[in-house]
Amino acid sequence: MLDSVSSVAALATQMSTQKTAQQVEVAMLVKAKEMQEQQGQNALKLLESASVPAKGIDVRV
């Protein structure tokens, strides 16, 4: 009987640890996504703020 209680307690602890680890992973992915979106917005702002010379851009080599 005591062995069964120990097994159930160990399983509950393991499941709780896995759930916490999964929550941390999801939070990290959300943060990484937010950072990527911010970097994209900053890149767009930089491109939009760039001015094109009146004569255009010479792309000939």
**Sign, Cα dihedral of 32, 35, 41, 43:** negative
In the chain, the largest separation of any two C-alpha atoms, in whole Å, equals: 87
CA 16 remoteness from chain centre = 23
Please state, in angstroms and rounded to a whole number, the distance separating the CA atoms of residues 59 and 40: 26
Instruction: Check residue 32 and give its pLDDT.
Output: 98
Instruction: Check residue 1 and give its pLDDT.
Output: 61
Instruction: Check residue 33 and give its pLDDT.
Output: 98
Question: Mean pLDDT for each consecutive 10-residue tract of the chain (61 residues)?
Answer: 84 95 98 98 91 76 71
Instruction: Check residue 60 and give its pLDDT.
Output: 83
Instruction: Check residue 58 and give its pLDDT.
Output: 76
Helices (H), 1-61: 2-49
Instruction: Check residue 51 and give its pLDDT.
Output: 77
